[in-house]
């Protein structure tokens, strides 16, 4: 899932990997896990009864936030990512990871410092909406960014793997296939992000169910696709050294 365009996916491709950082494997895993856990915590907080032990959620959000902030910040500030013709990787992977990771990190910090107060509030859902309303503007903006990335993926057939990449490379002659797959993932995340500010104030409405469903689905796909990329990227490196 290296963001190559089709002309670069020619037979005999060689890449100088000393100049080509490719860590969107761990980024995909962390982003997928983060989406799944955000939905899971939201479900637990919205339940009318029952307690929530926030310690594990603080650790999970903090760890995922750290991974996404460090990798996303480095990818965002390293411009271009490499001299191989893929500078759009900085925008496609680095910036969304940085934004999502920052949100997870600050959520972990807030739950650590004020989580007990939140849980003890008489109307927990209303307090959550009140606290999250300002940051929902950024979430909405990230949703717009996801739609922009998806549109670029379709228009410029980004994400197409070269034939040297195992599994994904089998479809190198069909660049729109992986472009559509990855762009559709960004669309799912974008739908949830655009609806989030509105669902925040109607947490038990069908709108909130849509947000949870698209984020959970995208999270599962990102998680498993990131795991698959550990094989495909290693194979690509071996085949193009």
Residue 83 scores a pLDDT above 70: no
Burial of residue 32 (number of CB atoms within 10 Å: 0-12, 13-18, 19+): buried
Q: Is the pLDDT of residue 193 over 90?
A: yes
Q: For residue range 109-153, list pLDDT tens digits in order.
A: 999 999 988 888 888 888 889 999 999 999 999 999 999 999 999
**Contact between 138 and 145 (Cβ < 8 Å):** no
Instruction: Encode the chain in three state secondary structure.
Output: CCCECHHHCCCCCCCCHHHCCCCHHHHHHHHHHHHHHHHHHHHHHHCCCCCCCCHHHHHHHHHHHHHHHHHHHHHHHCCCCCCCCCCHHHHHHHHHHHHHHHHHHHHHHHHHHHHHHHHHCCCHHHHHHHHHHHHHHHHHHHHHHHHHHHHHHHHCCCCECCCCCCCHHHHCCCHHHHHHHHHHHHHHHHHHHHHHHHHCCCCCCHHHHHHHHHHHHHHHHHHHHHHHHHHHHHHHHHHHC
Lowest mean pLDDT among 11-20, 64-73, 126-135, 186-195: 11-20
Q: Assign 50 a pLDDT band (cuts: 50, 70, 90).
A: low
The token duo for 44 is: 């637990």
d(CA 167, CA 206): 38
The β-bridge partners of 160 are 4
Question: What is the average pLDDT across 8-27?
Answer: 66
**Range in 51-55, 172-176, 221-225, 226-230 the model is least confident about:** 172-176
């Amino acid at each position: 899932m290296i963001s190559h365009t089709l002309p670069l996916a020619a037979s005999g491709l060689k890449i100088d990997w000393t100049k080509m950082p490719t860590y969107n494997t761990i980024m995909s895993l962390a982003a997928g896990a983060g989406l799944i856990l955000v939905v899971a915590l939201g479900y637990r907080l919205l339940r009318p009864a029952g307690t929530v032990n926030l310690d594990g959620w603080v650790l999970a959000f903090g760890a995922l936030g750290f991974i996404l902030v460090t990798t996303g910040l480095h990818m965002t500030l390293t411009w271009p990512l490499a001299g191989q013709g893929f500078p759009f990787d900085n925008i496609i992977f680095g910036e969304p990871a940085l934004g999502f990771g920052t949100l997870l990190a600050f959520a972990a910090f807030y739950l650590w410092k004020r989580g007990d107060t939140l849980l003890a509030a008489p109307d927990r859902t209303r307090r959550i909406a009140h606290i999250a309303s300002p940051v929902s503007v950024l979430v909405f903006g990230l949703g717009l960014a996801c739609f922009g990335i998806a549109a670029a993926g379709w228009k410029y057939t980004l994400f197409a793997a070269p034939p040297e990449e195992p599994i994904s490379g089998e479809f190198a002659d069909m660049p729109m296939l992986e472009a559509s797959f990855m762009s559709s993932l960004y669309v799912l995340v974008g739908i949830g992000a655009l609806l989030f500010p509105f669902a925040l104030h109607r947490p038990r409405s069908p709108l909130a169910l849509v947000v949870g469903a698209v984020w959970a689905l995208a999270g599962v796909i990102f998680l498993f696709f990131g795991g698959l990329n550990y094989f495909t990227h290693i194979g690509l490196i071996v085949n193009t050294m």
